Structure 1
Amino acid sequence: MTVAPIGVMDSGVGGISVLRELQRLLPNEDFIYYADHAHCPYGGKSRQAIVDRTVAITEELLARGAKLIVVACNTATIAAVEYLRASYPVPFVGMEPAIKPAVAQTRTGIVGVLATGAALAGEKFHALVAQHAGGVRIITQPCPGLVEQVERGDLNGPQTRALVEQYTRPLLAAGADVMVLGCTHYPFLKPLIAEVVGPEVVLLDTGAAVARQVERVLQRESLLAVDGRGGVEWLCSGDPQEFAAIRARLTEFSA
């Protein structure tokens, strides 16, 4: 049992969607959240650039005593999590798009995946599809610009809506009845996406599943806290005031 904090990293505010699930499941744990706001988004960066940033953030989190680190970013998980696991002694938990549950839930046999281009191009993603798709058709849709809209706190404005309509249109036209939100920023857009695609389409993200995996790893490693404050220390590589304002906007919108 330990009150050392859990580190959570993302390119920006998207990982807060995962942090919320962690807080619900593990109310006695303390957290350090690091938003790499100055280098967001990761979607267009090279693998080495993402590895370099996650290494720098890991060093910062470990210096502050993190006992486990959640890579709460699909793009960073694909690019860097195996390297991080091989390089540091603490456990790392990464993101995995909800392909398996999507395949189980589809009725039309067609699943759409909304994600960054880098996440969709990664070998890890293709291996996941090969493992779980079976006879289901998986249609991928890169979504440039959506992360930036969430980072601005624009969750339902005309420009954000236009992007959501643009990216979901081909998936709907193909008959997808399940859409996987393959980026941790996208759950903040879930009400808008649901409004655009309609009630017949199931939207899946993996924040809750990641939280359960973190709990399992903490139990396995005897790292569960029983008397933590349940607090969060916020860190970012960009403007702290801007980061705080965006956090407040996300909280206000999804309250």
Structure 2
Amino acid sequence: MEPFATLHRPIAVFDAGIGSYAAVRLLQERFPNQDLIYLADRASFPYGGKDRQALLDATAQAVQRLQGLGASAILMASNAPSVTVLEDLRRTASVPLFGVVPPVAEALALSKSGQIGVLGVRSLVESAELGACIAAASRGRGQAFSFNASELVELVESGAFLTDPARTGGEVDAFVRAILATHPEIDVFTLSSTHLPWLGDYFQRLFPGKAFVDPVRASVEALAPLSTTGTGRVVCAVTENPAHTVLDFHLMLAAMGIELDVVVIGGRL
């Protein structure tokens, strides 16, 4: 399918919305000649609101689509499915598949109090897999508490973080203060939804004494051995449903000052 056929061994990045574009941007900075496919799977938005089986079904279809478009490797730039269903997806994927997981060990290493907060969407923080991930990464070196930050995701997906800074600042402030009211010793947070780093300026400005760790950088670095020389082009594939349309997606891109070649894909596989 044009224009994907013109790309040279593209690496694909996907999520259910605009959040994963942060990973695309980091890949462009790290590997400027790498061709990329960016899938905004808005027909399945939000991943964070799905149960495990629904999440597996949606992400498996996204992986199949990207393989069909010629992806040589895929980064699932969404924390919830990376923690809960990545290994299931790897068993059937025909290309290397990477995920984004909460950087618990890194956060604990930065923490002076030994207490950190993992911010993520509901399906992540309620999963048994996150508990196992935290236990394996912490190894008794401190405490990690998880918090449902789904309400903050909407600030990014709606574009409010750009168009309504007063509302965004107020909601970010109230959310973090509520956590600190019961866990005052937390001094490091992991931004374990790809939407949350877009709010990084708000977090840092409102809570300058805290550290906020973006997990995507480590995932991007893991792709280094697979990077190839192309033209550095990015082609965006997007799915839609009546509630999350391509028009809305174009409006978000415009508000964020992002120019992309956008191709609508859909239909049954």
Q: Tell me the TM-score normalized by structure 1.
A: 0.89
8 Å CA contact 1:188, 1:250 repeated in 2? no
Q: Of residues 5, 27, 40 in structure 2, which corresponds to 1:22?
A: 27
* Runs of 4+ with >6 A deviation: none
Q: Of residues 111, 115, 120 in structure 1, which corresponds to 2:116?
A: 111
What per-residue deviation string (whole Å, max 9, x for no partner) do you get for residues 164-198 of structure 1? 1232114333221111101000000011111222x
Q: Distance in 2 between matches of 1:251 and 1:208?
A: 22
The 5 A counterparts of 1:211-250 are: 211-216=220-225, 218=226, 224-226=227-229, 228-238=230-240, 239-250=245-256
* Aligned equivalent of 2:45: 40
1:165 aligned partner, one-letter code = D
Report the more deviating stretch, 135-144 or 96-105. Answer: 135-144
Q: Distance in 2 between matches of 1:73 and 1:210?
A: 11
Instruction: Tell whether 2:184 aligns with 1:184.
Output: no
8 Å CA contact 2:67, 2:94 repeated in 1? no
1:78 aligned partner, one-letter code = V
8 Å CA contact 1:41, 1:147 repeated in 2? no
Q: Distance in 1 between matches of 2:201 and 2:104?
A: 21
Tell me how large the CA RMSD over aligned residues is.
1.8
* Aligned equivalent of 2:170: 162
The 5 A counterparts of 1:1-255 are: 3-133=8-138, 134-155=140-161, 157-173=165-181, 174-197=184-207, 199-216=208-225, 218=226, 224-226=227-229, 228-238=230-240, 239-251=245-257
Structure 2 residue matching 1:14: 3-state secondary structure? helix
Q: Which runs of 5+ in 1 are unaligned?
A: 219-223
**How far is 1:38 from its partner?**
2.6
Q: Which has the higher contact order (CA 8 A, sep 6+)?
A: 1
**How far is 1:225 from its partner?**
1.2
Question: How many residues matched?
Answer: 243
Q: Which runs of 5+ in 2 are unaligned?
A: 1-6, 259-269
Q: Distance in 2 between matches of 1:251 and 1:175?
A: 38
Structure 2 residue matching 1:35: 3-state secondary structure? strand
Q: Distance in 1 between matches of 2:136 and 2:10?
A: 34
**How far is 1:211 from its partner?**
0.7
